[in-house]
Structures are given as structure tokens and as C-alpha cells.
Amino acid sequence: MEITGRRSQEVYDVVGIGFGPSNLSLAIALEEHGESTPEHPVRAHFFERQPTFGWHRNMLLPSTTMQISFLKDLATFRNPMSRYSFISYLHASNRLVQFVNNQDFFPTRQEFHQYLEWAAAGLSDRVTYGAEVTSIRPVTEAGAPTCDLLEVEVRGSDGTTRVVAAHNVVVSTGLVPRLPDGVTSDERVWHSSEFLSRFRARDPETLKSVAVVGAGQSAAEITRFFHDALPHAQVSAVVPSYGYAIADDTPFANQIFDPAAVDDYYFGTDRAREAFWRYHRNTNYSVVDSDVIRDLYRRAYDEQVRGSRRLHFRNLTRVEEVRRAGGGTRVALRSLLDDRTEELHVDALVFATGYDGLDPARLLGDFDRHFLRDAAGRHRVERDYRLVSTPDLTCGVYLQGGTEHTHGLSSALLSNIAVRSGEIADSIVLRRTERELDRRGPVQAERSAA
């Protein structure tokens, strides 16, 4: 179905950009749709720039656990009978009984990664790895009033470029690592998203003093990892708050991740949306799971008892400046308590300073001017996650991620991916049916409906 020139011989109903959990979940929803209508399956293909499936591989630290229940997997909330559920994976791995004995809703990230790899392997004919989408553009026919076709340019790992055509694309390219202004990463200054590969590239013996910036889950997990992996090293945590704050995962607060909360957020008033953020940002951002907080505090206390401290917390402190110095890095820290600055000399400095949301404009380039924005300059998005476009476009650009302003807090998370993917699959199928009926004209459409 692929094309090598400007135009295609055959056209996909949908091309998925990125093959992380969101589009993997969409591939499953589309496959299960096809099983119910084998005579008219949705033609779909996915492109993933990584050479193989991988989900935040550089943060697969030992003992880290998922922040959602295993039941919020790729499919269960949409289709509890799916063969791609976490329970099916456990069964296929001969671990279902043992998993239940564990009595834990939250698997390790290692195990969930294995589950995702297992599911991705089942759909390998629908994805091309080592394939980065570099642009999306409309195909305009001379004289046609509307455009219902897109061209997607894909660069292979060997540098070759090809173009595929589709009626819809689903952009699911994930979070974008964020470093403070003026900071760039290298072999001594790392963002948390590159942590394990940077760490493995260094001889641990050369890491005698390390520092971690931030007070979110990534920062706390990396601080704990350093403390375990570098028993000879001084480990400093540069914490912008007075101390790590707890991630609220209690039942009432957790309701903001329910599928129904998407409607409440989407159709709610501006004041309602603002209240979601004011009251519940602490379910996800700049917060840490309680077991990790208690573990870190216990370690610091034990060192105090023993009288030899190497785990240091610099609270209410932010990074002012980073300077490369010989074989190490000098970090200027400013304390918010007394406004004094202090300089640390470290062998590795990790910025666990979070991520920016997905911004489709990066991929859309010039095509972005066809998509409407709200008064605050953000993309307008329909309830079915389709970008609102000028009326001349009948082709669709859907988002998985980048919709926190329209669909709420679960947009960048796994909580709702099964239901969201189902909604996107339904929308693509429904709009395809409408397009086909339009083409056939009113008389034939009536006959088909009868």
C-alpha cells in the first residue's frame, strides 16, 4: 500500500505517527473493529522512529512501579474481552496465578514494558520501526472544493524518504523533554529522559559526586537509583519545594482520570476546567508516590543515625547556572530561603525537570494554518480528538496527547488510552461511512441504508 512517488496507488484510512502505548492501543481498537466487520476493515499503518518498540526505556529503573492499575491497560476499559489485555499477557506468560498472589494493582514498569512489547509484537505487520515522520501535507486536486487526502513523508533509518497517503493521521508523538533555558545536555549533563543510556556510558567509579534537579517522580526515582548504584558517591537532590510533595492517588481525586471526566472537562465551563487544574494538578505534576518519598527520607535518617551523610537535600533551591569545568560541571544554586548562592562541583548532573506536551504544529509546519485556534492560541480540538480545521479539509488530523486544554488531565497519561483509542477508531469509521455515502449520492445512499 505504500507509495514511492508523490501520489499513491492505494490509500490508507489512517496513518499513525508514533507507536507508543497510545497508538498501540489504537492499532488494537482498529484490529478489533476489523474482526467485527471483516468485509470492510480499516486500512491502517503506523510509523515509529525507534528501531524497536520502547516505552521510556531510559527510565526503566529497578523496582519502579506503574502509576496506574494494571486494569488500565491497552484495551480492557474499551473491551474487557480483548486478547490484548494485561490479564491475557499474564496468562500467555504463565504468571497469572503468581501475579494475583502478589495482591498488587501496580506492576513494575519493567513488567508493564514487557506487556507492551508483547502486545506490539502481535501487531508487527502494521508498524514500520526506524521510520520518522518528517511532514504532513494536504493533497490538493486542481478545482476540487475540498481536500480529503494527506501525504505523510517518512524518513527511514537509512536516510531514504518515502511518502504514503491517508485520509487521516493520528499524531501520537509523546511528551517532549524540557531543560531550563540555556541548559543543553551532553555526557555530563543529562535530562531524565536519557538517564539510563547516559549512565551506562559512564564508568560508575568516576561518578563521585552527582546531583539531581527537580521534585517530581523522575527526580525522586533517579535520586534513589544513584544512592543504590553509587555507594561511594555524594548524592545531592536540588529540590525546588520545601520537600517532595505526595502524588494524590486517593479514590475521589482519582476520578479525574475516569473516562467520564473527559466529558465533564470538555463540555464544562472555563471555571470548571480551571478548578480541575487548581484542585488536582497534584495528582500528576511535581509530585512523588508516597512509598518513594518515605524510602528516601528513611535513607537520609539512617545516615544521620550512623553519622555519615552522603544523601543531601537542598530544599527551596533552584539551579541558576551550569558551567562545564574541566572533567566536571559547576552548578550555581540559589536558595529561596536567604537568596544566597552556592556552587556544587559534580561529575554528573541530571535535570528531571519534566516535559512539554505534544505540539502538532511541529509536524504540521505550513499545513498548520488550516487548523483553528482558541483565544489563547491553542489548537481547537473536537470531542473525538480531531483538530478543528477550515471547512475545505475533509481529511482528519487526530491527536493522542497535546489535548490537556480541551480533554483534561488524562491526555498525557495512560489512564484513558483504551477508551480514547476506541473513540478515535469509531470516529474514523463513522466519517469514512459518511464520505462513502456522500460519494454515492442521495439515491444510492438511501438504497444502501435500506
- Shortest Å distance, C-beta 240 to ligand NAP: 4
In Å, how far from its chain's centre is CA 250? 23
Query: d(Cα 42, Cα 31) in Å, to the nearest integer?
Result: 8
Judged by CB under 6 A, does residue 73 bind ligand NAP? no
Query: d(Cα 59, Cα 190) in Å, to the nearest integer?
Result: 12
Residue whose C-alpha is closest to residue 127's, from 52, 178, 54, 62: 52
- Shortest Å distance, C-beta 260 to ligand FDA: 17
**Site residues (CB under 6 A) for ligand NAP, limited to 105-134:** 109
Query: d(Cα 279, Cα 224) in Å, to the nearest integer?
Result: 29
- Shortest Å distance, C-beta 45 to ligand NAP: 29
* C-alpha distances in Å from residue 218, one per residue of 179, 231, 353: 14, 20, 8
**Site residues (CB under 6 A) for ligand NAP, limited to 323-352:** 352
Cβ proximity to ligand NAP: between 219 and 363 the closer is 219
* C-alpha distances in Å from residue 183, one per residue of 321, 353, 438: 8, 11, 53
Query: d(Cα 13, Cα 23) in Å, to the nearest integer?
Result: 15
Judged by CB under 6 A, does residue 319 bind ligand NAP? yes
Binding-residue total with ligand FDA (CB under 6 A): 30
**Which listed range, 93-101, 211-219, 373-381, 387-395, lies at the site for ligand NAP (CB under 6 A)?**
211-219
Judged by CB under 6 A, does residue 173 bind ligand FDA? yes
Residue whose C-alpha is closest to residue 427's, from 173, 170, 119: 170
Judged by CB under 6 A, does residue 163 bind ligand FDA? no
For the stretch 262-296, what's the b/e string if a residue is b when 16 or more beta carbons lie within 10 angstroms of its beta carbon? beebeeeeeeebeebeeebeebbbbbbbeebbeeb
Judged by CB under 6 A, does residue 75 bind ligand FDA? no
Contact indicator for 244, 382 with CB cutoff of 8 Å: no
Judged by CB under 6 A, does residue 86 bind ligand FDA? no
- Shortest Å distance, C-beta 24 to ligand FDA: 7
- Shortest Å distance, C-beta 305 to ligand FDA: 32
Instruction: Report the relative pairing of strands 189-191 and 396-399 from DSSP bridges.
Output: unpaired
Judged by CB under 6 A, does residue 353 bind ligand NAP? yes
Binding-residue total with ligand NAP (CB under 6 A): 26
Angle at 26 between CA 20 and CA 414, to 5 degrees: 55
Q: Which does 49 bind (CB under 5 to 8 A by kind): ligand FDA, ligand NAP, none?
A: ligand FDA
Residue of the chain from 8, 85, 88, 192 that contacts ligand NAP (CB under 6 A): 192
Cβ proximity to ligand FDA: between 47 and 99 the closer is 47
Contact set with ligand FDA (CB under 6 A): 17-23, 47-50, 55-56, 59, 66-68, 132-133, 172-175, 218, 400-401, 412-415
